[in-house]
């Protein structure tokens, strides 16, 4: 899942490395994350800055 926030940040629920790798390719869509293995720890959402103002 992807949320674009009003302050220009992008909140992503998925594996951080996969999302960042996908974004670095310059594609517009973010694929749905694969289902984690039953023993995998739950993933925490994270935010990244996309354009706009610098903090």
Residue 4: the pLDDT is: 76
Residue 10: the pLDDT is: 74
Q: Name the pLDDT band for 24 (thresholds 50, 70, 90).
A: confident
Residue 11: the pLDDT is: 78
Q: Name the pLDDT band for 28 (thresholds 50, 70, 90).
A: low
Record the pTM: 0.31
Residue 43: the pLDDT is: 65
Residue 33: the pLDDT is: 55
Name, in order, each residue with C-beta under 8 angstroms of 3's C-beta and a sequence gap of 6 or more: 10, 11, 12
């Amino acid at each position: 899942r992807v949320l674009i926030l009003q302050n220009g940040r992008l909140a992503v629920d998925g594996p951080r490395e996969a999302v960042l790798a996908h974004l670095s390719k310059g594609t517009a869509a973010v694929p749905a994350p694969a289902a984690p293995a039953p023993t995998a720890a739950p993933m925490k959402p994270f935010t990244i800055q996309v354009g706009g103002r610098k903090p």
